[in-house]
Amino acid sequence: MDPLLYLGGLVVLFLLWIKVKGLDYVIVHQRWIFVCLFLLPLSVIFDVYYYVRAWLIFKMCSAPKLHDQRVKDIQRQVREWRKEGSKKHMCTGRPGWLTVSLRVGKYKKTHKNIMINMMDILEVDTQRQVVRVEPLANMGQVTALLNSIGWTLPVLPELDDLTVGGLVMGTGIESSSHIYGLFQHICVAFELVLADGSLVRCTEEENSDLFHAVPWSCGTLGFLVAAEIKIVPAKAWVKLRYEPVRGLENICKRFTEASENKQNTFVEGLQYTLDSAVIMTGTMTDHAEPDKINRIGLHFKPWFFKHVESYLKQDCTGVEYIPLRQYYHRHTRSIFWELQDIIPFGNNPIFRWLFGWMVPPKISLLKLTQGETIRRLYEQHHVVQDMLIPMKHLQAAITRFHQDIDVYPLWLCPFLLQPGRGMVHPKGQEEELYVDIGAYGEPKVKHFEAKASTRQLEKFVREVHGFQMLYADVYMDREEFWEMFDGQLYHRLRNELGCKDAFPEVYDKICKSARH
């Protein structure tokens, strides 16, 4: 009983401390306490429930039958909205805190919420080499199933909680994108419920305009109810080469060369200062050298970005063999490098051994419990942005990031941007190599001001014909937004499909200048 009494005494003292200091103070200044004691255990329960549920439904083959019922229910809700006079715009009923985006969408409170409870993998067709999934199936769920039967997605974005719907309606990228393009480019079909309640399937051949307009539309053309995505055979390991590079010009030159080499299945760069980076290139293989295996996904292993940095500090190259699924989710445990700001000692070996199996906390739970105070602090003193830049402007872009925000590490991920007629495509009619520059962290520049600094970056991106990922805070006005994105097809389809009364325009849904 003595240990229990001791534990009970500690709990009482802890609760008294919270009462004296106030819950807001603890959540803002000692957030790691709240995260470690409450959010990490809750995150584990969430994961176990969803993985067991997905496995059971797939094994019992009940997903397709349930899917048809859910689609009919969505159609019913849309038709009821029309009968009620179409007084408000519609949006999905999924709570805003459940999304991976750090943006808080206030439109959920004023729009008609259409409940869409669709989170299953419907079918894996190995003959056609496609997987058919519902919009709320996430990347952790998809890789767990596909890798277990020897398949994978050609482009599999990093974080477990990213959903198919978010990646289709927004965008997604991975270190294989220099070969396959963005997530939208591996999709072969979309199924949507439109503003009139009808169900439509669109592909490159069938309803082609809609197929091209859906990516980046953020749910403003219809409700996605299923997507068919290409799959490719998977191998057991990724043979990953680490190469530290110094000097900005050398970094850009070496990164471009690696990205243009199609023999590299994976290409990624982590830039730690203006003139130092580690460039990683990888290939899939079925065989691994036993003494070079690194199972980076094990809970006690160092966070991946810290492991990569060790090659820079030691100024040496290296080769490792990493299990495929662990490679795909290499940045998940530390949420890239964001977790170091939430749990400062999270990469400590003792913490990793004891509690690393519970990491990371769910981003959705972090959002739900952050409160208005933390949200405002993050907005003013924290940057989370992904800018898509033509590779030929990489050096100028990194210099601009350094001058405007000075956030490191920077994530460098190359991708092939294919010509098209949707919102995002190259300036000409030929495919072009781009790079995603991801900045996540606290800016080190003096007198940082979130709106002014981000607008400077946005202006540079527009000037080089680049694009800004729309999950982040966007400060452009409407004219600037449609200067960056091609809205010709998008606006035509909104008129033709009766979307103006049904859904907000994408700018009004995601840009800070339009939200109240």
Let me know: does 148 contact 51? Beta carbons within 8 Å. no
Share of the chain above pLDDT 90, in %: 62
199 pLDDT more than 70: yes
Please write the tens of the pLDDT for every residue from 354-400: 988 988 887 777 777 766 666 776 777 789 999 999 999 999 999 99
Please write the tens of the pLDDT for every residue from 411-448: 999 999 999 899 999 988 899 999 999 999 989 988 88
Residues 129, 133, 137, 140, Cα dihedral to 10°: -10
Orientation of helix 394-404 relative to helix 450-463, angle to 10° = 170
Please write the tens of the pLDDT for every residue from 477-504: 999 999 999 999 999 999 999 999 999 9
Report the b/e string of 398-412 with b at 16+ CB within 10 A.
Answer: bebbbebbbbbbbbb
SS3 145: helix
The secondary structure element, H or E, covering residue 279 is strand 276-285
Ranges 37-46, 177-186, 325-334, 451-460: which has the least confidence: 37-46
Let me know: does 106 contact 89? Beta carbons within 8 Å. no
Strand bridging mode 90-92 / 112-114: parallel
**Residue 2 CB coordination number (10 Å):** 6
Ranges 34-38, 211-215, 219-223, 438-442: which has the least confidence: 34-38
Q: What token pair was written down for 473? A: 């805070």
More confident residue, 114 or 463: 463
- C-alpha–C-alpha distance, residues 454 and 440, integer Å: 13
User: How far lies 487's CA from each of 292, 424, 499, 506, 513, in Å?
Assistant: 49, 9, 14, 10, 18
Q: What is the maximum span of the chain, computed from C-alpha positions, in angstroms?
A: 75
Residue 427 CA to its chain's centroid (Å)? 25
Please write the tens of the pLDDT for every residue from 294-317: 999 999 999 999 999 999 999 999
| Ordered alpha helix ranges (H), 261-359 | 304-314, 324-328, 339-342, 349-355
Going from the N-terminus, what domains does the chain have, and what CATH number goes with each?
66-233 (3.30.465.10), 237-333 (no CATH), 372-485 (3.30.70)
Global confidence as pTM = 0.89
Ranges 147-156, 187-196, 278-287, 439-448: which has the least confidence: 439-448
First-last CA distance in the chain: 55
- C-alpha–C-alpha distance, residues 260 and 388, integer Å: 17
Share of the chain above pLDDT 70, in %: 89
